[in-house]
Amino acid sequence: MGQEVLKQIQASNDLSVCCGVDKNISGNYDFPVYADIQDVKEQPNVIIDFSVPAASIEVLIFAATHHIPSVIATTGFSDEQLNIIEDYSKEVPIFRSSSMSYEINIMSDIVAKLAVLLKDADIEIVETHHNNKIDSPSGTALLLADSINAALDNKMYYEYNRHSKREKRNPKEIGIHSIRGGTTVGSHSVLFFGENESFEITHNVESRSVFAKGAMKAAGFIVNQKNGLYSMKDLI
């Protein structure tokens, strides 16, 4: 994703890269690349972070120290880490989204409305990603589940391990299933099962440029905001 963000920024007239951070530095660039963000000497207007949760926290420490608005596009945070992000948002503007896809966030609104209209349906979420993705389920799958659950007054719970159960499906559960394989960028389906009929809505990502462009839009948005925690809903 770092390479894709770089590629999209280089093709843009609105943004430029002043430096990069990568603990496994490789390649030649026309800007400095540091192994540790604390070594950065430049003063960027905004930080775009696609990394892993532990690294994102280090990014926020640097961002808060230098008061640099930040876009956190990393997923897989623990509840404790999410609380840390919220605390740092009191010191610096932070944009965080489980998906940088504009369309996924529209899908999130659509499935929430469908859940209310199809209140007796059994709801299942299936997500597919490449074999290098670390977190499971995906942040986007949880984004969709949370949107549905909020629309249903948070009365639902998430079932990840149905293989270990020997009982019929609870009508209050949202099943979440993860598939990993090949080079699939990302696919998410929400399925509503009623009596003798079903309804399915699916979103497919065919290029990582979708997420890079979304992060760039978020960067243009967050630099003009006051301290606080923002999401794709604010951008939309």
- Tell me the catalytic residues: 129, 133
Closest CA to 143 of 182, 185, 112, 184: 112
118: its two tokens: 């199809």
**Strands 122-129, 186-193: pairing kind:** antiparallel
Q: How far apart are CA 68 and CA 92, in angstroms?
A: 7
Structure tokens at 100: 């940088």
- Give exposure, 190-228, as e/b (b: 16+ Cβ within 10 Å): bbbbeeeeeeeeebebeebebbbbbbbbbbbbbbeeeee
